Structure 1
Amino acid sequence: MKLRYAMVCSSNQNRSMESHCLLKREGFDVASYGTGQHVKLPGPSIREPNVYDFGTPYKQMFDDLRRKDVELYKRNGILPMLKRNLGVKLAPQRWQDNAADGPFDVVITFEEKVFDLVLEDLHNRNQVLLKPVLVINLEVKDNHEEAAIGGRLALILCQELDATENWEDAIDDIINNFEKQHRRKLLYSISFY
Structure 2
Amino acid sequence: MDTTNGAAAQVAASAGNDGNPNANGSPPPSDSDGFKLKFSTVCASNQNRSMVAHLRLSQANYPVISFGTGSLVRLPGPSITQPNVYHFNKTSYDSIYKELESKDTRLYRANGVLNMVDRNRHVKWGPERWQDWQIGMPRLDKTQDRGSAGTEGGVVDVVITCEERCWDAVIDDLMARGAPLNRPVHVINVDIKDNHEEASVGGRAILDLANDLNAAAVEERKTVGANAFDTGNASARASFDERVPDILAAWQERWPHLPALWTLAWF
Q: If each structure's strand is expressed as a fraction of its own residues, which one has the higher value?
A: 1
Task: State the TM-score, normalized to the length of structure 1.
Answer: 0.96
Alignment-mate amino acid for residue 201 of structure 2? I
8 Å Cα contact 2:45-2:127 kept in structure 1: no
Task: State the TM-score, normalized to the length of structure 2.
Answer: 0.70
What aligned pairs does 1:37-48 form with structure 2 within 5 A after superposition? 37-48=71-82
Is residue 178 from structure 1 mapped to residue 232 from structure 2 by the alignment?
Answer: no
8 Å Cα contact 1:18-1:148 kept in structure 2: yes
What RMSD over aligned residues (CA atoms) do the two structures have, in Å?
1.2
1:185, distance to aligned residue in structure 2 (A): 2.6
Is residue 110 from structure 1 mapped to residue 162 from structure 2 by the alignment?
Answer: yes
1:127, distance to aligned residue in structure 2 (A): 1.2
Q: Which residue of 1 aligns with 2:265?
A: 191
Number of equivalences = 193
> CA separation in 2, counterparts of 1:64 and 1:12?
18
Q: Which residue of 2 aligns with 1:68?
A: 103
Cα offsets for 1:110-147 (capped at 9, x unmatched):
11111000000011113122110000000000000000
> CA separation in 1, counterparts of 2:66 and 2:47?
8
Q: Secondary structure at the match of 2:41?
A: strand
Cα offsets for 1:84-123 (capped at 9, x unmatched):
1011001110000012363211000011111000000011
1:12, distance to aligned residue in structure 2 (A): 5.3
1:182, distance to aligned residue in structure 2 (A): 1.5
Q: Which runs of 4+ in 1 moved over 6 A?
A: none
Is residue 124 from structure 1 mapped to residue 176 from structure 2 by the alignment?
Answer: yes
Q: Which residue of 2 aligns with 1:58?
A: 93
> CA separation in 2, counterparts of 1:40 and 1:97?
17
Q: Secondary structure at the match of 2:66?
A: strand
> CA separation in 1, counterparts of 2:121 and 2:102?
17
Q: Which residue of 2 aligns with 1:23?
A: 57
Q: Secondary structure at the match of 1:164?
A: helix
Q: Percent same amino acid at aligned positions? A: 45
Q: Select the structure of larger CA radius of gyration.
A: 2
Q: 1:65 to 1:54 in 2, by over 3 A?
A: same
1:5, distance to aligned residue in structure 2 (A): 0.5
> CA separation in 1, counterparts of 2:97 and 2:255?
34
